[in-house]
Structure 1
Amino acid sequence: MKDIISIILFDGVCTLCNASIDFILKRDHKNRFLVGALQEPVSKKVLSNFQVDDSYLDSLVLVENGKVYFRSTAALRIAKKLNRPWPLFYFLIAIPAFLRDPVYNWIGKNRYRWFGKKSTCRIPTSEEKQKFLSEENLPF
């Protein structure tokens, strides 16, 4: 799994967030991502390395090359590394985040109401286990 260069942290009880992770995992053919629920201890450990409050649940979080990205910037940087056609959307990065993020925030604010919420965090299948963040595969 040496090709993994980025960590995606997501709200593990959010139905929309879990669907997004399913989408990403199906299109990450080069194994560039590890994923983890923000509620999990190992994810909180990752966040603490970057001075991010460990109770943070407001956005998708991307940790890449020692930097942390949130909201639409994280989503676009993830899309850039997926199989075609998703990297084509990276051109939207040219739009300043202060214009992109209000849409992201609006969806995030309503995600539980529109898509639902699970009572517990997602448990990876045996096939997904190697793609989920753990103490054993923590890259730092």
Structure 2
Amino acid sequence: MALIVPVKFAPAPLPARVSCRRQFHVAAALSTPPRSNTPAVDWVKETDSFFEQDSRPIMLFDGVCNLCNGGVKFVRDSDRRRNIRYEALQSESGKKLLQRSGRAPDDISSVVLVEKDRSYIKSEAVLKIMEYIDMPFPQLALFLQFVPLFVRDFVYDNIADNRYNIFGRSDSCDI
């Protein structure tokens, strides 16, 4: 005959809540590593002037991509309160803001939303932009946040990688 003794188990500790938002905090962007004898540049200080007079976020987009230009026109038309500013990734200001966001100055692979204290890339940037524009997009963004980040970025990357083949490109920025 076996004796069964109840054993109390302590519940496993719950993991700390992890945010699904992939954010790049600007304070973490200390500087670019020095190349040879060139001094390091603090891109946060270098680009703070973009937010001194106007604290609105800046949407960085591929200025020669027809899909991106159409997206900017759509956001601009849906943003009646003018909550967002726009800058092409290829512009000098766009390159500086990319470096502020911890990205290479010639990286035009993703839309980036730069706020004063943080930056968002890929699908996170799209969702954050949706939060700034008019109804029903903030509610749609809230719903889409429940889709796992790897799924959203997988879809984003597939569209981004084929955007020139599907939508074409222009010779200059239309915006």
Which category of TM-score, normalised to the shorter sequence, fits these structures?
A: 0.7 to 0.9
In structure 2, distance between residues paired with 1:65 and 1:9: 14
Checking the alignment, whether the CA contact within 8 Å between 1:60 and 1:71 is kept in structure 2 is yes
Q: Is the aligned partner of 1:103 residue 2:155?
A: yes
Q: Is the aligned partner of 1:119 residue 2:165?
A: no
Spell out the pairing of 1:19-30 with structure 2 (5 A cutoff): 19-30=70-81
SS of the counterpart of 1:94?
coil
Aligned residues: 122
Q: Percent identical across equivalent pairs?
A: 38
Report the structure number with the largest CA radius of gyration.
Answer: 2
In structure 2, distance between residues paired with 1:111 and 1:72: 15
- How far has the Cα of 1:95 moved from its partner? 2.3
- How far has the Cα of 1:82 moved from its partner? 0.8
Cα deviations by residue, 1:49-101 (Å, 9 ceiling, x for unpaired): 23321001111100124111111110011111111111121121122311210
In structure 1, distance between residues paired with 2:160 and 2:120: 16
TM-score, normalization: structure 2?
0.65
In structure 2, distance between residues paired with 1:120 and 1:110: 19
Pick one of 103, 106, 115 that aligns with 1:55: 106
Spell out the pairing of 1:86-101 with structure 2 (5 A cutoff): 86-90=137-141, 91-101=143-153
Checking the alignment, whether the CA contact within 8 Å between 1:4 and 1:33 is kept in structure 2 is no
Going from structure 1 to structure 2, the CA distance change for 1:73 and 1:112 (only over 3 Å counts) comes to same
Moved more, 3-12 or 56-65: 3-12
Moved more, 101-110 or 84-93: 84-93
SS of the counterpart of 2:63?
coil
Point out which structure has higher relative CO (alpha carbons under 8 A, 6+ apart).
1
TM-score, normalization: structure 1?
0.81
Residue type matched to 2:103 in 1? V
Cα-Cα RMSD: 1.5
In structure 2, distance between residues paired with 1:19 and 1:95: 25
SS of the counterpart of 1:8?
strand
Structure 1 segments unaligned to the other structure (5+ residues): 125-140
Pick one of 73, 86, 90 that aligns with 1:39: 90
